[in-house]
Structures are given as structure tokens and as C-alpha cells.
Chain A
């Protein structure tokens, strides 16, 4: 028995199934969150765990964040992994300033989050004193799983962002 053609017919069979209805914000956020390009700011032992997270055993690329870029101009998310000394602080800020928007920051480990055990004349007491931090990861150093968890939390945060916020404001201002 041959099925009648009408059964499979849609409004246009050539593009049937290739169209997804969504919101622009959601589509943009989906693209952003699934291809985070990290800028590895490896400053101490946390960097070793970050390298482990990117290698085959933990494989950060499963979550779309394996493209470590050593140029800030090609990166989305700065992973500050390690102790930020005052001598290094403005170099970290200078690199952060060179990253194009939109950009995010992960403070990996106790030192980057708060200065950690270094209550000292030489160490910046948390990288959030010079750049805005989206996700803090506890640990000294955090295990690779913790970094991956931080990366996934950042992805959830990006999901909820209003990515077209500035453009909408501009449109409303133009209409007014």
C-alpha cells in the first residue's frame, strides 16, 4: 500500500524540520555559551589544574571551551588561575582590557578569589579588585572537575543574559 502524498506534506517540505522558532537573545546566548574561548591567565599552581582540565582525562572541550587563546584579542573568558601579585596586577588588567566584549572572568582558586593564604604585602587580595568576576571557584587548587563546574555555571549565567540589551535600549531611544 502506498501512502497518499498528503500525509507527509507540510507547508513547505523542502525546509520542514530545518526551522526552529526561538528568541534572538536565546539564540545568541546559545552560540556564546557553547563556544567559550578561554584566555588562560595561569599564574601559579592552579594553572596546572587548568591544564589538566583541558587535557584528555577531563577534556574541557566536551563543554565547548577548549580553544585556549594566548592572545586576549581572540578570547571570551579569562580564567585567572593563581596568585595575583601586585606586580602582576596591572598586567592582568591590561590583558583584560584588550579582550573584546562580550567577555567574562573566572577567578579560579582561593588566591584569585580573595588572596587565599597570602595575607601579604605582595599579593592582591582578590582579582575582583581590578576586574569584574563572574564565577569564583573555591579550592587550593580546585580540581579540574571544579573548573569544569565553574565553566558550566558560567554557561548557565550566559544563558540568562539579555544579550541584545544595549541594542534594545538604542532602538527605544531612536523611536522616542
Chain B
């Protein structure tokens, strides 16, 4: 069974819970309801033998509702197929952990909690993983400034605001000539 057939099987099995499917250059993506995300992932692991959770990421669609999106990248070593499962989650809503299905999800979910502030229901050890315990912000959220924000934890760590010096310097890949393609300050002056 290839990935496209698996998507068909999942649509038959879960019906309404599969909101939409996308195929882009052979990549299969499944949009599912938040409530059914974990059962779908469990089925992918147990029945469709997606034994490798490549990555979990999260997207901040700031200004939209629901605000966040979870993205699960699955892979199966027995059939060499990829599958992407997405679900939208609202702010302040806890997402069920998948660390009981794939143990590797433990650290992926800690990173998402650390950077984006999404909490995971049933996670065995939901602590920050990159920033220190007690850091007050979630740096990958859209409202967090690129230069950072000051914070202070005596004897643990502190943080400051980076001087942007006219940055960030952004390239324009589609531009006509090399001079315009060079990284330039895009700050409004």
C-alpha cells in the first residue's frame, strides 16, 4: 500500500474526522480534527506501520482562529512511505501527547512547549528543553520580537535585547539582478 492508498484508507476509516487531504508532488497531507488527531496517529502507527515519527512541528497562524497548527511527519521503514498529519488547535488548548505512541515525541513536544507555549496533555515530563526553566517567554510566537526581550533570573540566566543594526537583512531570491538579490535591510525608514 502506498501513501495515497493509505490516505484513502484513513478517510474511509475516520470519515468526518478527516477534514481534507492534500497531495503536493507526491507528498500526502491529512488535515484532521483536533479531537481525532491522536486516534488517527495511533491507527497510523499500529495498523499502517508508520513506526518512525520524523518530526513534530508547530505553526503560529497569528491573527487566525484557531491560532496554532500541529504538524506530524510520519515515516514507515517497512514501506518507505511518508505521511503528514496536521491539525489546528486554539490558543490555551492542550494537545494530547503522542509520546506513548512514539517515545521520541517526548523531546519534540518539550521543544514545542518551550518555543511555542503549546501544552501537551499526559506528557510525562513537560519542561523547557532549550531555554532555562523560568524563562518567561515563548520565543517562536509571532508577537515575540526578533531581537528578544530582557529577562533576569539571578544565578541562573539573563537575556537582553540584541542590537538589530538596521537588520534583519533579507535576500530577495526572485529579483532580476544580483544587486537587488543581495541581503538588504527591509526596515521601514
Q: Which of B136-163 contact A (CB under 8 A)?
A: 137, 139, 144-149, 155-160, 162-163
The residue in chain A whose Cβ has the minimal distance to the Cβ of B132 is: A87
| A contact residues, total (Cβ < 8 Å) | 14
Q: Which of B137, B146, B157 contacts A89 (CB 8 A)?
A: B157
The residue in chain B whose Cβ has the minimal distance to the Cβ of A94 is: B155
Are A119 and B156 in touch, CB under 8 angstroms? no
The residue in chain B whose Cβ has the minimal distance to the Cβ of A118 is: B162
Given A87-B131, A87-B132, A115-B162, is A121 in contact with B147 using a C-beta cutoff of 8 Å? yes
* Set of chain A residues within 8 Å of B158, measured between Cβ atoms: 86, 89-90
* Set of chain B residues within 8 Å of A115, measured between Cβ atoms: 162
Are B162 and A90 in touch, CB under 8 angstroms? no
B1 at the binding interface (Cβ < 8 Å): no
* Set of chain A residues within 8 Å of B148, measured between Cβ atoms: 120-122
Interface centre among B131, B158, B162 (most CB of A within 10 A): B162
Q: How far is the CA of A125 from the CA of B162 in the complex (A)?
A: 6
Q: How large is the interface on B (under 10, 10 to 19, 20 to 34, 35 or more residues)?
A: 20 to 34
Q: Which of A87, A90, A119 contacts B168 (CB 8 A)?
A: A119
Q: How far is the CA of A120 from the CA of B167 in the complex (A)?
A: 11
Q: Which of A87, A89, A123 contacts B162 (CB 8 A)?
A: A123
Q: How far is the CA of A89 from the CA of B151 in the complex (A)?
A: 13
0 or 1 for each of A62-100: is its CB under 8 Å from B? (1 = yes): 000000000000000000000000110110000000000
Q: How far is the CA of A119 from the CA of B183 in the complex (A)?
A: 15
Please give the distance in Å from B141's CB to the nearest CB on chain A: 11
B179 at the binding interface (Cβ < 8 Å): no
Are B155 and A121 in touch, CB under 8 angstroms? no
Q: How far is the CA of A125 from the CA of B132 in the complex (A)?
A: 18
Interface centre among A89, A90, A123 (most CB of B within 10 A): A90
Question: Chain B: residues with CB nearer than 8 A to chain A?
Answer: 130-132, 137, 139, 144-149, 155-160, 162-165, 167-168
Question: Chain A: residues with CB nearer than 8 A to chain B?
Answer: 86-87, 89-90, 115, 118-125, 129
Q: Nearest 8 pairs between A and B by C-beta?
A: A121-B148, A119-B162, A86-B159, A121-B139, A86-B157, A125-B162, A87-B132, A87-B157
